[in-house]
Structures are given as structure tokens and as C-alpha cells.
Amino acid sequence: MKKFTLILSAALMLQFSIVSAAFAKNTLVNGETLRKGQTLQSNNGVYSLQFKTDGNLVLYKNNTTMLWQSGTAGARKYLTTFQGFQFYTYPEILELYNGSIQIIDDVTYYAFWKSDNKAFSTMWYGQGNVPTNLYGDRLVVQDDGNLVLYNTSASSSPYPVWASHTGGQ
């Protein structure tokens, strides 16, 4: 009986480690979402993008040092009043939508926060040098600590259309 219990325990631990490895990813692509309580992690394991249960999207170094945040903690949007009760919607989902990343609710799809690809690209590339296609399709938590939205659909090599400016921190 002890042998069986030991073997069963070992098999379960192996299964859990395989499941954990499958969910430990650093990239979000079109059609994928990140929900409250979920995380993207850099390949080196140092940086993590965590969608907190309070609705804030936070980029951490070593799970302790905050490098960037969306500023959506505690955000809510009024929906309606019914029989004297007020109803609100809250940030629930991080998604890639229409070339940008945005934090939305799962009822009305109201955007509590959205990446400003045009402003980033103007600052990054300089006025007059901004690529014509600012459609981001891949969000990556990089090993240098930068959170970057890339356009990978162009015929040339992928290029950034938005970033958190936290590389090297």
C-alpha cells in the first residue's frame, strides 16, 4: 500500500509539473486572453505580468518589485440601477483587439485601459518615421523586463508598436 501511495504521489507531481509548464508562457497572441489571477512570465522567470484580482495589470520583477501598471485597480463603470440597487462592471479581461491591448469588462466590453500605439510609435520612431501599420498581434514579456506589443504580420521582421519602457530595470 505504501508503494502504491508513493507511486501515485510521484505520478501526480509529474502531471502537475507538466500542467504548470504548459501554462508558463511569455506571449499572448490574437484570440488569446488573460483573466484576473492569470500571469504571463518571461522565459528567464524573472519578470511576470500579473492580472490582479483588483483589476490592475502589473509587471513585476522577482514578484516583488513593480515596474509598470495599468492603473485600473478598483476601476468600475456604472451599468444601471434596478430596484434601488446600482450595478457596475469591472475590469475582467486583457485582450489583443484591433491591434491594441486593452483591459475590458466581460459584459459590455468597455475598455478601462488601452495601449496607445500611435503615441508610443511617434515617440519611439520619431515624427515622420512611424510605420504605417501599427497593428499589434503579439504581446511579449521579454527577458529584459520590457512588455512589448509587436506587429509580426508585416513582411519584414517584427517591430514594436507599444512598450512599457521597463527594459533593463
For residue 24, the model assigns a pLDDT of: 67
Q: What's the whole-model pTM score?
A: 0.82
pLDDT recorded at residue 13: 44
Cα–Cα distances in angstroms (integers) from residue 136 to residues 22, 56, 128, in the given order: 24, 21, 20
Enumerate the domain spans of the chain: 24-163
CA-CA distances (angstroms) from residue 26 to 77, 86, 105? 30, 38, 23
pLDDT score, position 2:
52
The whole-number pLDDT of residue 153 equals 86
Residues of the chain with pLDDT under 50: 4-22
Q: What's the pLDDT score for residue 73?
A: 94
Provide the sign of the torsion angle of the four alpha carbons 61, 114, 35, 141, taken in this order.
negative
Top CATH class of 24-163 equals mainly beta
pLDDT confidence of residue 52: 97
- Compute the distance between CA of residue 94 and CA of residue 73 in angstroms, rounded to an integer: 13
Q: Write the DSSP string, 109-154.
A: --EEEE--HHHHHHHHH-TT---S-----EEEE-TTS-EEEEE--S
